[in-house]
Structure 1
Amino acid sequence: MSTRRPVVLFDLFGVIACHQRPGALDEMAALSGAPTDAFTTAYWTLRQSYDAGRWTAPQYWTAVLGSLSLTAGSGTIERLRLADMDSWSRVDDRMVTYVRSLREHAEVALLSNIPADHADAFLTAQPWVRDLDHVAFSGKIKAAKPDPAAFRHCIAAMHAAPADFLFVDDRAENVRAAQATGMNGHVFTGREELAAAVDTWLPTP
């Protein structure tokens, strides 16, 4: 049963923040000494454990390099870690403004798949995030979308009912996972379409 506390729960990358910077994987591949295609496959294949907080950054990068039959010292791993972090650092300023304006009408929260060390850096660079009503980073809560545990964390942390949430993500599989927990969902395609959907969903004052 809904408590009629509207909560708009946002994904981060692809909605408020930009997707990974173009060319970043080529640069990281060059740092590692691996071909870009092989590096990209290893990077994404092993990413879930890093996003979900099961691996630290050194464990993740050691696994990536090991899968490529490469070894590297701590200096190379740190350069890869910092290059990776930088590649996910851009935000859409118009969406940041929109998200902040929504707090006049609803509670606003964030649920992002992001490693713990990336999350710390993002919070430092984007202090507006701390003003939101709740922030859940997968590397911190040990659950990454579309794992239902990630959505249940937000429900419990905000002491709200599932039906109070409108979850916004650019990946349909994550929206379906949120809906399976009882949340409402919207697949993000742009700011104007989102604003119209939110206006329709918000309770009438």
Structure 2
Amino acid sequence: MADTILFDLFGVIARPQSSAGMARLVETAGAAAPAFWNAYWDRRPPYDRGRLTGPGFWSRVAETLGTRFDDRRIAELVAADAASWSEVDDTMVSLVGELAASGRRVALLSNIPEDLAVHYEAHHPWFRHFEVCAFSCRIGHVKPSAGAYLWCRDALGVAADRILFVDDRAENVRAAEAAGMGGHLFTGSARLRAALN
């Protein structure tokens, strides 16, 4: 049995980007939704890898949209982006706490930019349960690249087969399994709890 549980954040413990938050982002940007989201996701990978700051990311989004965001607009977009990703599943937060209290090691692996990582660290005290927080913006690897899982293995100091990786995306789970970890495709807290017993 795996004694270390490595969690994805969004779609597992944190909820996906909220529709209200997404609408606020589009409104703040003053752009048409389809074009905005194409620019947002096209420009996102370097931000998640820590190669762009928030202002750098939003300046590139603006460039793609054929416009320019001033410093005030960029600050508003950074805040709105963090807020759009900030809702969590309280049932999963409780499960993380239970696992830590029972002696199971828990860790986190998330594709996340620095601004959002800082937001979570500042506003979610349950992050203290994680022995390792492997944020893509800080480790230089993004899922599903093998380097992300190997970085976590080395940081945790255990053999890969002692780690169970939990993610809501099948390609990320398969990549963890290819790196020697156990994998659990997350579809809900009840099924995960049963798998952990």
- TM-score, with normalisation over the residues of structure 1? 0.92
Aligned residues of 1:152 and 1:181 also touching (Cα < 8 A): yes
Structure 1 residue 26, shift from structure 2 partner: 2.5
Structure 1 residue 126, shift from structure 2 partner: 0.4
* 2:50 corresponds to 1:49: no
| Percent of residue pairs identical | 45
Structure 1 residue 151, shift from structure 2 partner: 0.8
Aligned residues of 2:96 and 2:129 also touching (Cα < 8 A): no
* Paired letter, 2:160: P
The DSSP-based 3-state class of the residue aligned with 1:89 is: coil
Give the 4+ runs in structure 1 shifted more than 3 A.
Answer: none
* Paired letter, 2:195: A
Aligned residues of 1:25 and 1:36 also touching (Cα < 8 A): no
Aligned residues of 2:2 and 2:164 also touching (Cα < 8 A): no
In terms of mean alpha carbon deviation, does 15-24 or 168-177 score higher?
Answer: 15-24
- 2: distance between equivalents of 1:93 and 1:30? 29
- 1: distance between equivalents of 2:24 and 2:104? 41
Q: 1:173 to 1:5 in 2, by over 3 A?
A: closer
Gapped runs of 5+ residues in structure 2?
none
State the aligned residue count. Answer: 196
Gapped runs of 5+ residues in structure 1?
200-205
- 2: distance between equivalents of 1:5 and 1:133? 15
* Paired letter, 2:13: I
- TM-score, with normalisation over the residues of structure 2? 0.95
Structure 1, residues 23-64: CA drift from partner, whole Å, max 9, x if none? 322321222221011101111121111111111111111111
Aligned-pair RMSD on alpha carbons? 1.3
In terms of mean alpha carbon deviation, does 164-173 or 50-59 score higher?
Answer: 50-59
Q: Which residue of 2 aligns with 1:193?
A: 191
- After TM superposition, list the pairs within 5 Å mapping 1:153-168 onto structure 2: 153-168=151-166
- 1: distance between equivalents of 2:111 and 2:150? 15
The DSSP-based 3-state class of the residue aligned with 2:38 is: helix
